[in-house]
Amino acid sequence: MDVLRGRLLVATPAIESGPFRRSVVYLLDHDGDGALGVIVNRPTDADVDAVLPEWAGLVAAPDCLFEGGPVQTDSALGVALVRDDVPAADGAPGAVTWRPLSGRVGLVDLDGPVPAVGELAGLRVFAGYAGWAPGQLEDEIAEGSWLVVDAVDADVVSPQPETLWHEVMRRQSGDLRYWATFPSDPATN
């Protein structure tokens, strides 16, 4: 299987409960050692200001902490959409310290210097992450738990994360587009 970094995992109805139900996961890394991503459509009631006050003014709306996944929920990851003209970290004092992932999306070092307003096009702070052991994600994809689709840079900072699952499915071509009409609770259909 090709490396899936920078793509989306969209939960299928096969995942009926738990943290991944109707989730959209942006894959931060995927290789022979496993996979790591963050759930981009799970805002929490917690304010970023309560956890990382110096970064609070830079987060995209809704300006809350997001549930990145069930692993290490006591840690924070910063994922940003950078402007076109922001280079990767070069060690310059005050420069945005970020690691490019795909397109304009990258990981921001939340322990590094806080960039000036306007240096980032958007930022999300995630509590925890989603992780898979070697071969585990591939098995879950093969069993039909996940659809793998292309990401759009703006998915990471969607202003309406609660509708992202439907939006991602609607923009797909062919039969995948019909998944957007799948009811949240098939019993009420």
Domain boundaries, the chain: 7-188
Nearest to 27 by CA among 94, 103, 88: 103
108, 98 Cβ separation under 8 angstroms: yes
Q: Which two tokens stand for residue 70?
A: 């069930």
What's the CA gap between 181 and 169, in Å, rounded?
9
- Mean pLDDT for 159-164 is 96
Question: pTM value?
Answer: 0.89
Among 62, 103, 64, smallest CA distance to 80 is for: 103
Other CB atoms within a 10 A radius of the CB of residue 19 amount to 17
**What is the DSSP secondary structure assignment for residue 137, as one 8-state letter?**
H
**Residue 126, beta-bridge partner list:** 66, 77
Q: Average model confidence (pLDDT) for the chain? A: 88
Using a pLDDT cut of 70, give the percent of the chain over it: 86
Residue 116 has phi, psi (to 5 degrees) of -70, 155
**Are 9 and 146 spatial neighbours (Cβ–Cβ below 8 Å)?**
yes
Min mean pLDDT across 26-35, 77-86, 115-124, 131-140 is at: 77-86
pLDDT at 171 over 80: yes
**The CATH number of domain 7-188 is 3.40.1740.10:** yes
In the chain, alpha helices (H): 48-51, 136-142, 164-170
Q: What pLDDT, on the 0 to 100 scale, is given for residue 187? A: 58
Q: Is the pLDDT of residue 91 over 50?
A: no
3-state secondary structure of 70: coil
